Amino acid sequence: MITRSADVNSVRKLLQKTARPLALVPTMGALHEGHLQLLRAARAKVGPQGTVAISIFVNPIQFDKASDLENYPQPIEEDLALCEAEGVDLAFTPERESLYQSDHSVIVQESLLTRHLCGASRTGHFDGVLTIVLKLFNILQPDFAIFGQKDFQQLALIHRMVRDLNLPVSVIGHPTVRAADGLALSSRNSRLQAHERADAARIRRALLAARDLRTSGEQNPQIYLNAARHHLLIDCPESFSIDYLELVDAETLQLVPTVTKPSFLATACFYGGVRLIDHIAL
């Protein structure tokens, strides 16, 4: 395992001796069952003779709030123990200084798929995401990269970056992993108060209730949005609020005038300072 390596060149030299194919699971740590399923999918993709790699790096330039960065959990020893138990071949946990020079001035920006959803709600967030993912692709040179579909806008942006910049990596989306009550697994869930965690399944229930309207052939986006908003807010705790609730085209991620082709109903919600996202396909 490569841990806390400040020398990117030494990483590249080691990778020249690494068995191929190589599948990368990029993470910010605080690993949970969702991450472990990504690692298992990576192993299934490359087989016992291939290499499964994970990156663990809390990327500072994708946080739009300093407090969110400061509060992000970083249990690195526990994470590495989980990686070892899962048979991960390579764990890359670089220091910030090895990835960002003090005067760094180049970032990756996307101009279409970021107009709505988290792209509009979190200014600069996806600039940071795309920049770090491109760095990881350049350093580790994976054949495959596995990402969770919970962050579907992120996944769409990475697909677009790979396409537009002709990157030699195959990006694979893995279905959202959920708790028994339907809440999408997230490292942020651990920051919820007990009563908030007990309530948080309302997000999934609201999306499911709105999706049920499609059985009647409903095509008005506002009807879906109104239904989801009603279920999100009914008898909600005081700490709960909606950041955004939008219905977008599944391919372009632009707002749709009518629901006549595959679309996503997506939301971001707060419990106090903890932000959770989820979506559902229509």
* The pLDDT of residue 53: 95
CA distance 223 to 271: 25
132: pLDDT confidence band, cut at 50, 70 and 90? very high
Alpha-carbon span 15 to 70, nearest angstrom: 32
For the question of residue 35 being annotated catalytic, the response is yes
Residue length, the chain?
Answer: 282
Q: Out of 131, 147, 174, pick the residue that ends a domain.
A: 174
For residues 147 and 258, membership in a common domain is answered with no
Q: Check residue 2 and give its pLDDT.
A: 66
Asked if the structure places residue 254 within a domain, the reply is yes
Give dist(CA 155, CA 134) in Å, integer: 13
**Mean pLDDT: which of 7-21, 61-75, 145-159 is highest?**
145-159
The domain boundary residue, chosen from 145, 174, 203:
174
Same domain, 45 and 146: yes
Question: Tell me, what CATH number does 228's domain have?
Answer: 3.30.1300.10
202 alpha-carbon distance from chain centroid: 20
**Percent of the chain surpassing pLDDT 70:** 97
Q: Are residues 170 and 199 in the same domain?
A: no
Same domain flag for 23 and 142: yes
Backbone φ, ψ for residue 155 (5° rounding)? -60, -45
Mean pLDDT of the chain: 95
Positive or negative, the CA dihedral 11, 84, 172, 184 is: negative
Cα dihedral sign for 222, 226, 227, 228? positive
Measured CA to CA, the distance from residue 207 to residue 130 in angstroms comes to 28
Is 242 within a domain? yes
User: Looking at the domain assignment, is residue 204 inside a domain?
Assistant: yes
Task: Name the pLDDT band for 155 (thresholds 50, 70, 90).
Answer: very high
Q: Which of 35, 125, 174, 279 is catalytic?
A: 35
Same domain, 101 and 128: yes
Per the domain annotation, does 185 fall within a domain? no
Residues 129 and 64 in one domain: yes
Q: How many domains does the chain have?
A: 2
Q: Looking at residues 124-136, what average pLDDT do you find?
A: 97
Specify if 66 maps to a domain: yes
**Is the domain of 105 the same as that of 213?**
no
Asked if residues 139 and 18 have their Cβ atoms less than 8 Å apart, the reply is: no
The predicted model gives 45-73 an average pLDDT of 93
Q: Residues 22, 55: contact at Cβ < 8 Å? A: no
Whole-model pTM: value is: 0.94
Domain boundary, last residue among 146, 174, 202:
174
Angle value at C-alpha 200, between 28 and 210, nearest 5 degrees? 110
27 neighbors 83 (Cβ within 8 angstroms): no
At 5, the pLDDT band (50, 70, 90 cuts) reads: low
Please tell me whether residues 82 and 108 are part of one structural domain: yes
Is there a single domain that holds both residue 129 and residue 17?
Answer: yes
Mean pLDDT value of segment 203-227? 97
Look at residue 15 and tell me if it is in a domain.
Answer: yes
Residue 181 in any domain: the answer is no
Same structural domain, 222 and 263: yes
Please tell me whether residues 50 and 156 are part of one structural domain: yes
Question: Which range of residues forms the domain containing residue 198?
Answer: 192-275
Task: Supply the DSSP string of the chain, one letter for each residue.
Answer: -EES---HHHHHHHHTTS-SSEEEEEE-S---HHHHHHHHHHHHHH-TTSEEEEEE---GGG-S-HHHHHHS---HHHHHHHHHHTT-SEEEE--HHHHS-TT-------SSTTSSTHHHHSTTHHHHHHHHHHHHHHHH--SEEEEETTSHHHHHHHHHHHHHTT-S-EEEEEPPPB-TTSPBP-GGGGGS-HHHHHHTTHHHHHHHHHHGGGGGT---HHHHHHHHHHHHHTT--TTEEEEEEEEEETTT--B-SS--S-EEEEEEEEETTEEEEEEEE-
**Domain CATH number, residue 103:** 3.40.50.620
